Amino acid sequence: MTTITDTVRSPLAAGTAVLRASELRSELPTENGTLRAVDGVSFTLRAGRTLGLVGESGSGKSLTSRMLLRLNPPSFRETGEVLLSGDEPLDIMELRRDGPVIRSVRGRRIAMIFQEPMTAFSPLYTIGNQIMEMILLHRTDDRSEARAICLEMLNKVGIADAERRIDQYPHEFSGGMRQRAMIAMALSCDPEVLIADEPTTALDVTIQAQVLDLMRGLQRELGMAILFITHDLGIVAEMCDDVAVMYLGRIVEHAPVREIFRRPRHPYTRGLLDAIPKLGRGRTARLASIEGTVPQAIDLPPMCGFFDRCPVRIPGLCDARDPEEVRVGDEHTVRCERHGPDAPADDSEKEANA
Ligand SMILES: Nc1ncnc2c1ncn2[C@@H]1O[C@H](COP(=O)(O)OP(=O)(O)OP(=O)(O)O)[C@@H](O)[C@H]1O
Ligand code: SF4
Ligand SMILES: [Mg+2]
């Protein structure tokens, strides 16, 4: 009998680019003007690596990630390129939102897990049937084989007594078990890319740590690229290889995780990091503690979107143009007029702006 480990692709060499997103834009016409919810976002996802996407609520993280699967409502005007590599590279943005090609990509090549597993599972069918449905859609026509793969996945994600559990309904699972089952379903077709949108936010700290451990282990084994959306900088430090910091629909800083923690260049990133000790440690550190609020991304003038909240802003410069993206290291880019290594610490110029 075939199992997940012998029918699926062999893992790509770690670091191989599997998905390149370029200049993604997602705009929503509203009564008050056009909401530029995602405004020129580019990044690359690599096999065996995790890119963290962080930023305050409303910065456009979920919309960005859902663009990779053409999941946003049709009211959003979306442009850009999402190149999924392979024998025949595919530009996902050229696919119809509900067409057959994108449906063959969803779940099979790019899978998604999110905060609330109840929305991933219907209450009407057993967990096993729902995972098997995914396997039958993409991997095999043989029901007993699909059941065997499903059992293997449930075991792999650490669901004890999987032979009995496979025939249970979602409400018979605890929150942590449902989250594991959702991961089992997401990984049952061995996707090249996994999108994880706040996947552990609803879980208590112990279960959260177990689920994160599990994801890391499965990534080592299967070699998929992960886009990991989180508010939690403790999780970023633990899970991510690279970090993209989003603000007002843009990536304002992008760097390897150690660079972000050791040498953050954007005042917004510094603000996020400074906020950690004030709130307690690591895991409970939330991003929403920077003073001021995010403006609505409607009809914004061409200036730095962080200007009103920035402790080191330069009036006359930062509010006169949109800062361009500047490369400040091999893999480190930032969108800020004060991008140099000698940029002042956030406190040094407060009086200049008082
Ligand atoms: N279906 C929708 N209809 C209208 N506006 C939307 C919709 N989905 C998102 N938006 C708006 O787009 C912007 C980006 O939303 P998005 O959900 O991507 O933010 P996020 O960074 O994921 O936030 P959070 O951390 O709260 O999940 C926000 O201003 C939000 O209000
Ligand atoms: S461009 Fe100016 S206002 Fe914007 S973050 Fe940089 S220093 Fe602050
Ligand atoms: Mg979101």
Q: Give ion ligand 3 contacts, CB < 5 A.
A: 62
Among 201, 72, 71, 185, smallest CA distance to 122 is for: 185
**pLDDT at residue 172, rounded to an integer:** 96
CA of 43 relative to ligand 2 center, distance in Å = 22
**pLDDT at residue 342, rounded to an integer:** 61
* Least confidently predicted of 55-64, 267-276, 322-331: 267-276
- Which of 245, 270, 307 should be mutated for ligand 2, with most atoms under 8 A from CB? 307
Query: Per the structure block, which two tokens stand in for 58?
Result: 């409303």
The DSSP symbol for 329 reads E
Instruction: Specify the ligand 2 atom closest to the Cα of 310.
Output: 8
**289-328 burial by CB neighbour count: b if 16+ within 10 A, else e?**
ebeeebeebeebeebbbbbebbbbbbeeebeeeebebeeb
**pLDDT at residue 288, rounded to an integer:** 45
CA of 246 relative to ligand 1 center, distance in Å = 13
Query: For residues 134 and 201, what is the distance between their CA atoms, to the nearest angstrom?
Result: 25
**pLDDT at residue 269, rounded to an integer:** 95
Confidence of residue 206 (pLDDT cuts 50, 70, 90): confident
**pLDDT at residue 205, rounded to an integer:** 87
Query: For residues 193 and 45, what is the distance between their CA atoms, to the nearest angstrom?
Result: 8
State whether the beta carbon of 306 lies less than 6 angstroms from ligand 2.
Answer: yes
What percent of the chain lies above the pLDDT cut of 90? 69
CB atoms within 10 A of CB 332: 19
Q: Mean pLDDT score of the chain, rounded to an integer? A: 88
CA of 322 relative to ligand 2 center, distance in Å = 10
Distance linking the first and last C-alpha atoms of the chain: 71
Confidence of residue 278 (pLDDT cuts 50, 70, 90): low
Q: Mind listing the pLDDT tens digit for each residue in 234-268?
A: 899 999 999 999 999 999 999 999 999 999 999 99
Q: Mind listing the pLDDT tens digit for each residue in 101-121?
A: 999 999 999 999 988 877 889
Which runs of consecutive H residues, i.e. helices, occur in 188-311?
Answer: 205-222, 233-239, 257-262, 267-278
**pLDDT at residue 170, rounded to an integer:** 95
Whether the pLDDT of residue 36 is over 70: the answer is: yes
Query: For residues 354 and 339, what is the distance between their CA atoms, to the nearest angstrom?
Result: 22
Beta carbons of 60 and 246 less than 8 angstroms apart: yes
**Residue found under tokens 């065996």:** 48
CA 262 to chain centre: 22
**pLDDT at residue 297, rounded to an integer:** 77
Confidence of residue 343 (pLDDT cuts 50, 70, 90): low
Query: Per the structure block, which two tokens stand in for 235?
Result: 């999780």
The mean pLDDT value for 65-72 works out to: 96
The DSSP symbol for 75 reads T
**Residue found under tokens 């692709």:** 9
Query: Per the structure block, which two tokens stand in for 13?
Result: 């060499």
State whether the beta carbon of 337 lies less than 6 angstroms from ligand 2.
Answer: yes
Query: For residues 337 and 114, what is the distance between their CA atoms, to the nearest angstrom?
Result: 35
Sheet architecture: strand order including 225-229:
110-114, 193-197, 225-229, 50-54, 242-247, 250-256, 332-335, 325-329
- Which of 306, 319, 321, 328 should be mutated for ligand 2, with most atoms under 8 A from CB? 306
Query: Per the structure block, which two tokens stand in for 99?
Result: 């067409």
**pLDDT at residue 349, rounded to an integer:** 41
Beta carbons of 252 and 309 less than 8 angstroms apart: no
CA 3 to chain centre: 29
Whether the pLDDT of residue 350 is over 70: the answer is: no
**pLDDT at residue 62, rounded to an integer:** 96
Pocket of ligand 1 (CB under 6 A): 28, 37, 55, 57-63, 73
Instruction: Specify the ligand 2 atom closest to the Cα of 252.
Output: 5
Query: Per the structure block, which two tokens stand in for 166?
Result: 């496979």
**Three-state DSSP class for residue 255:** strand
Q: Mind listing the pLDDT tens digit for each residue in 159-205?
A: 999 999 999 999 999 988 999 999 999 999 989 999 999 998 888 88
The mean pLDDT value for 217-223 works out to: 90
pTM of the model: 0.90
Q: Which residue type sits at 266? A: H
Whether the pLDDT of residue 282 is over 50: the answer is: no
- Residues in CB range of 331: below 8 A, 6 or more apart: 242, 254, 255, 256, 259
Beta carbons of 225 and 49 less than 8 angstroms apart: yes
State whether the beta carbon of 338 lies less than 6 angstroms from ligand 2.
Answer: yes
Among 57, 52, 51, 46, smallest CA distance to 11 is for: 46
The DSSP symbol for 294 reads P
Sheet architecture: strand order including 17-30:
33-46, 17-30, 77-84, 90-91
